[in-house]
Amino acid sequence: MNAEVLTPVLDWLDLAGVAIFALTGALVAAREKQTLVTLSFFALITGVGGGTVRDLLIDAPVFWIHDAWVAAICLGMALFAWFTPTRWWEGRFLSIADGLGLAAYAVLGTAKALEYGVPPTPAFLMGVLTGCAGGIIRDVIAGRPSILMRPELYVTAAALSAVITVLGDVGGLVREWVWLGATGAGFGLRLAAIRWSLSLPAYQRD
C-alpha cells in the first residue's frame, strides 16, 4: 500500500475488506465442493477484484501487487474455509459478512480516490465500484445470479458509505471518524435490507 496515501484506519479497512470478501469467495467454491486450488482462486479474485479495478482506473499502483499481506490473507481465508464445515456458514452469515466487506471497501475506495486527487463525484463512483466489483466477479465466475440482480438493497448500501465519505471530506470533518461512521452506516443499511428484505421500487413500465 502507498504509505503516503493510506492511513492506519484505511489500512485496517482495506485488510478487513480483503479478508471478508476472500472468505465469501472461498465459501462459494466450498459449497460447490471444489478443490483447494479453486477455493484459493475464488478467495483471491473476490478479495482483490474491486480494488484492482479501482486502482487501474485512478492510475494508482495495484495495491495487492505491492503488499505481500493481501495475497497471504486471501490464501489464509481459503485454507480457513477448507478446514471448516460449510454448515458453520449456513443461513445469513455469508450475506452479513459480505455486507461488512461491502461497506468497508466502499469507504476505502472513495477515500483512496480522493487522496489521489479524483474529484468528489468520480471518487464516489470509485467507492461503489470498489465495494461491488469483487462480489460481481465472484458470482459471474460461479454461475450464480449476480448481486446486482437481487431485489434487496446492496449497491445502495455501498453508495451510502461512499457518499458519507465524500461529504465528510468536502466538509473538512475528521477523516477517521467519517470513515468509521460511513462504514457503520453502509453496513447498518445492508443489515436492515437482509433482515427486512428492503428494496428500491422496481421498473414497472411495459
| pLDDT, averaged in runs of 10, over the chain (206 residues) | 56 84 93 95 96 94 90 96 87 84 93 94 97 91 84 91 97 93 96 92 82
Q: Distance between CA 97 and CA 1 in Å, rounded? A: 24
Q: Taken in order 25, 151, 17, 80, is the CA torsion positive or negative?
A: negative
Q: Which three-class secondary structure state does DSSP give residue 197?
A: coil
What pLDDT does 37 receive?
97
Q: What are the residue boundaries of the structural domains of the chain, listed by start?
A: 8-196
Nearest to 111 by CA among 20, 185, 6: 6
Whether the Cβ atoms of residue 5 and residue 112 lie closer than 8 Å to each other: yes
Is-contact 92 194, C-beta < 8 A? yes
H helices present in 116-201, as ranges: 120-142, 155-170, 175-196
In eight-state DSSP terms, residue 5 is T
- The pTM of the full predicted model, rounded to 2 decimals, is 0.90
Residue 102 contacts residue 152 (beta carbons within 8 Å): no
| Neighbouring C-beta atoms of residue 155, cutoff 10 Å | 18
The pLDDT assigned to 6 comes to 55
Q: Tell me which DSSP letter residue 172 carries.
A: T
For the chain, give the number of residues.
Answer: 206
Question: What pLDDT score was predicted for residue 15?
Answer: 84
Give the number of other Cβ atoms within 10 Å of residue 105's Cβ: 35
**Three cell numbers at 147?**
448481486
